[in-house]
């Protein structure tokens, strides 16, 4: 692997705020696809970070949703990544995120060059680094560089870029950007040889993209500058001012700048690439068996061809399928023909309209201290499996509507109950009466696992009053 060194400072910008609804039921609002290990042991976020290795870049900026902040921080910690995490208090699409990153980078270096990457794509690492190397002369000359992928099929799930004349520094001028076309139009684009898939990755000088944003979207830049100027440090996160950031228009960087500027340039990214935006895309990117199937988990197949079958919690068996997607999780199963997987988003919209929890979260819910998983629930009771990481501690809290029983099955627990502090070991238990102030802590070196039985007339996660919290979460009544 080459190790590049440049005269300019490269600032990688990882956009990790997406929701990935087309990969439901694995991807959900509180645990979207960029946080999932869809192509190996690393999550897509971790793979994106590792793709930056060897570029000689400065500290990366990661922009993510506030509700994903602790998961993002833990995943970066797992791979030894050191970066600056900026929290977007509300979703405003990619243009405000790039504006914030450009403003933050120019504070460090007025000549900073941004390498902007979505956190949920798949691309060959060496090809990507070579493309960045080729893009730098264009970016230094003031072009806003994006990468186009030569199409291998008439794909209707991607946007397209029409390239124009060649540029002296390399690459081509952009004639226009085109939204996702219908099948006939996509076929014409592929046959013409003038159109490439829009990868959504960019190399651009921070001052140039800011100048173009000022030109086309002055209100956006003003809102982002104000939100960054009144931001505050919260543990390991930089928290943008919520009210001021919310005042920004909500637009993608393509709509806000790239489709309107005369500085857009495109370079070919001649390698396998996917935005992993659908189950069919995951089938395309996956390792296939002799029958063309991509299989994960405990799966038994008979006469199944060219299908994607994912089993998460139990045996999944299929007979006589072709070109299908089957995805099983603890609380949901998806079955669809591969050519209709773009319609999964409609299912998620229906789940949201009916306020179904399956649209938002998994049975396993992640918290900064660990996670909990619902095991069983009924009238006036709920059972959870709780895992607390070594050295971590839950908030000091109480409940108005439920009592709790805890049984330690692994590790050691330090329990605060009222004025008492009680050390529990494996096979020991404790009762927390309704209204009693309590806290759970793992003082050991291995994960603490316990079974919690909640009993009461109301068992919602909003029945928590936090009195103290080491993670800086809101006190008083809050979810989780």
Higher pLDDT, residue 169 or 260: 260
Domains by residue range for the chain, with CATH? 10-274 (3.90.550.10), 279-349 (no CATH), 364-477 (2.60.120.10)
Give me the chain's average pLDDT, please.
92
319 token code pair: 């007979």
Asked whether residue 479 carries a pLDDT value surpassing 60, the answer given is no
Asked whether residue 83 carries a pLDDT value surpassing 90, the answer given is no
pLDDT band at 8 (very low <50, low <70, confident <90, very high): low
What pLDDT is attached to residue 239? 93
**Rounded-to-integer distance, Cα 28 and Cα 347, Å:** 12
What pLDDT is attached to residue 21? 86
Percent share of the chain, pLDDT over 70:
97
Asked whether residue 172 carries a pLDDT value surpassing 60, the answer given is yes
Would you say 18 and 32 are in contact if contact means Cβ atoms under 8 Å apart?
Answer: yes
Asked whether residue 397 carries a pLDDT value surpassing 80, the answer given is yes
Q: What pLDDT digit, counting tens, does each position of 195-227 carry?
A: 999 999 999 999 999 999 999 999 999 999 999
**Rounded-to-integer distance, Cα 224 and Cα 234, Å:** 18
Asked whether residue 290 carries a pLDDT value surpassing 70, the answer given is yes
HEC per residue, the chain: CCCCCCCCCEEEEEEECCCCHHHCCCCECCECHHHCCCCCCCCHHHHHHHHCCCCCCCCEEEEEEHHHHHHHHHHHHHCCCCEEEEEECCCCCHHHHHHHHHHHHHHHCCCCEEEEEECCCEECHHHHHHHHHHHHHHHHCCCEEEEEECCCCCCCCCCEEEEEEECCCCCEEEEEEECCCCHHHHHHHHHHCCEEEEEEEEEEEHHHHHHHHHHHCHHHHHHHHHHHHCCEEECCEEECCHHHHHCCCCCCHHHHHHCCCCCEEEEECCCCEECCCCHHHHHHHCCCCCCCCEEECCEEEECCECCEEEECCCCEEEECCECEEEEECCCCEEEEEHHHHHHHHHHHHHHHHCCCHHHCCCCEEEECCEEEEEEEEECCEEEEEEEECCCCECCEEECCCCEEEEEEEECCEEEEECCEEEEECCCCEEEECCCCCEEEECCCCCCEEEEEEEECCCCCCCCCEEEECCCCCCCEECCC
Would you say 401 and 463 are in contact if contact means Cβ atoms under 8 Å apart?
Answer: yes
């Amino acid at each position: 692997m080459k190790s590049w060194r440049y005269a300019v400072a490269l600032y990688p910008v990882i956009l990790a705020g997406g929701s990935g609804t087309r990969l439901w039921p694995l991807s959900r609002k509180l645990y979207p696809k960029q946080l999932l290990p869809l192509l190996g042991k690393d999550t897509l976020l971790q793979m994106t970070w590792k793709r930056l290795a060897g570029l000689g870049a400065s500290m990366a900026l990661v922009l993510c949703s506030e509700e994903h902040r602790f998961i993002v921080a833990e995943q970066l910690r797992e791979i030894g990544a050191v970066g600056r995490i900026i929290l977007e208090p509300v979703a405003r699409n990619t243009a405000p995120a790039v504006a914030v990153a450009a403003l933050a980078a120019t504070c460090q270096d007025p000549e900073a060059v941004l390498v902007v990457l979505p956190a949920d794509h798949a691309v060959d690492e060496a090809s990507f680094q070579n493309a960045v190397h080729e893009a730098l002369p264009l970016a230094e000359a003031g072009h806003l560089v994006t990468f186009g992928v030569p199409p291998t099929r008439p794909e209707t799930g991607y946007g397209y870029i029409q390239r124009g004349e060649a540029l002296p520094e390399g690459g081509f001028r952009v004639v226009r950007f085109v939204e996702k076309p219908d099948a006939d139009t996509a076929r014409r684009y592929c046959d013409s040889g003038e159109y490439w898939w829009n990868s959504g990755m960019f190399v651009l000088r921070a001052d140039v993209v800011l100048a173009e944003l000022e030109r086309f979207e002055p209100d956006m830049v003003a809102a982002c500058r104000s939100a960054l100027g009144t931001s505050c440090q919260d543990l390991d996160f930089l928290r943008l001012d919520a009210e001021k950031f919310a005042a920004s228009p909500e637009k993608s960087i393509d709509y806000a700048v790239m489709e309107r500027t005369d500085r857009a340039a495109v370079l070919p990214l001649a390698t396998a690439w996917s935005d992993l935006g659908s189950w069919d895309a995951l089938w395309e990117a996956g390792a296939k068996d002799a029958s063309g199937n991509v299989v994960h988990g405990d799966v038994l197949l008979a006469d199944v061809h060219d299908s994607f079958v994912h089993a998460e919690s139990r045996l999944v068996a299929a007979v006589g399928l072709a070109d299908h997607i089957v995805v099983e999780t603890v609380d949901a199963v998806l079955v669809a023909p591969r050519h209709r997987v773009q319609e999964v988003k409609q299912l998620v919209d229906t789940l949201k309209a009916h306020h179904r929890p399956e649209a938002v979260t998994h049975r396993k819910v992640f918290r900064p201290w660990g996670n909990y998983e619902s095991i069983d629930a009924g009238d006036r009771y709920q059972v959870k499996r709780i895992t607390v990481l070594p050295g971590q501690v839950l908030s000091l809290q109480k409940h108005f509507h439920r009592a709790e029983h805890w049984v330690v099955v692994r590790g050691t627990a330090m329990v605060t109950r009222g004025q008492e502090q009680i050390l529990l070991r494996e096979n020991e238990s404790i009762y927390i009466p309704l209204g009693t102030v309590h806290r759970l802590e793992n003082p050991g070196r291995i994960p603490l696992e316990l079974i919690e039985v909640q009993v009461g007339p109301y068992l919602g996660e909003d029945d928590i009053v936090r009195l103290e919290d080491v993670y800086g979460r809101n006190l008083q009544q809050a979810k989780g």
